[in-house]
Amino acid sequence: MMKIETFYRVGAVLFLGGCASAGHHEAATHGDVPDTVVAEQRAQLARNTEGKGFGPQSPRDIDQRGGENPVSFSLAPMSARMNLCNIHFHKNAEHKGRAFSDYAGNGDGHGYGSGYRYSGRLSAAELAPVEAEVCPSAHGSLSPGDTIEVHYVFSTAEVQPGPTLGACLSDAIKNPQLLVEGQVFVLVNDRSALDFGKLAAVSERAGFAQAPNMTLNTGRPVEYAGSTTGPGYNEQGSPFQVTWRVRPRVAKVDIATVGAWCKSNVFNEDHAHGVRNLVTNPALLSPMGR
């Protein structure tokens, strides 16, 4: 089991696969590393988790409801009854859904350049280049047209919003219930689009730390039992139990406001994290009800 701080540093920001027989045909003409790299990662994940009692994993295709993982745990309460402890985002969607089903490719094999992209169309104006670098990292900066998956992480522990998953734990409770509210956005060069600073604003409501401006008009969230994510778990199972609520539709957000948030926020987030391979192995997925 990785230490929590390490798990986050490798990009496992609470939402987060697969087996050797997974759908590698998607990568046939995409990405930087060959399909065999991802196939071996999935095979290694299957070997490293088989018969060891790991619970259901993330990320997954939210339109596929099947799963055979036998481990169950109580789903977390609604986020309004929990404390917001972290907000972060990944470049490209970790989850796959109807509105974000365009495969971005295999990437570098370590979580960057892979995942899923917004499946809709954008105007030339929305895609117009921006002058400044946006949330730059060693893997580049963000551009109009890029897709991000934002994770709002909540905990039943008495905690305050802060950096890394460590902010979700306390000395009093080392195994709190964890909930991730997931929302996929597409970045546009449009000042009339959503303001990410407002979307990620933090305040207190009824005694709980909250993100009161989370999007509410992007469809009924798909709720399922899963784990933390991030490329550090491409070959290892995540031991964390996480309730996921992933919204099925994509919203447009003004790229300039994302850049401003990266320069100053309580979570010390300044760049997009990498993604974990999509989990497709039925033995590592929870069955989802309706």
Residue-level pLDDT at 17: 29
Residue-level pLDDT at 236: 98
Residue-level pLDDT at 54: 98
Mean pLDDT, consecutive 10-residue stretches, the chain (290 aa), reads 35 33 36 91 98 98 97 96 98 98 96 97 98 95 98 98 94 93 98 98 98 96 97 97 98 98 98 98 90
Residue-level pLDDT at 12: 35
CB atoms under 10 Å from CB of 126, counted, come to 18
Q: How far apart are CA 129 and CA 91, in angstroms?
A: 18
Residue-level pLDDT at 31: 56
Helical (H) or strand (E) element with 198:
helix 196-199
Residue-level pLDDT at 174: 82
Please report, for the chain, the start and end positions of each structural domain, with discontinuous segments joined by +: 4-284
Question: Cβ-count burial of 192 within 10 angstroms (0-12 exposed, 13-18 middle, 19+ buried)?
Answer: exposed
Dihedral of alpha carbons 29, 34, 37, 39, sign: positive
Residue-level pLDDT at 95: 98
Q: Please tell me the pTM assigned to this model.
A: 0.89
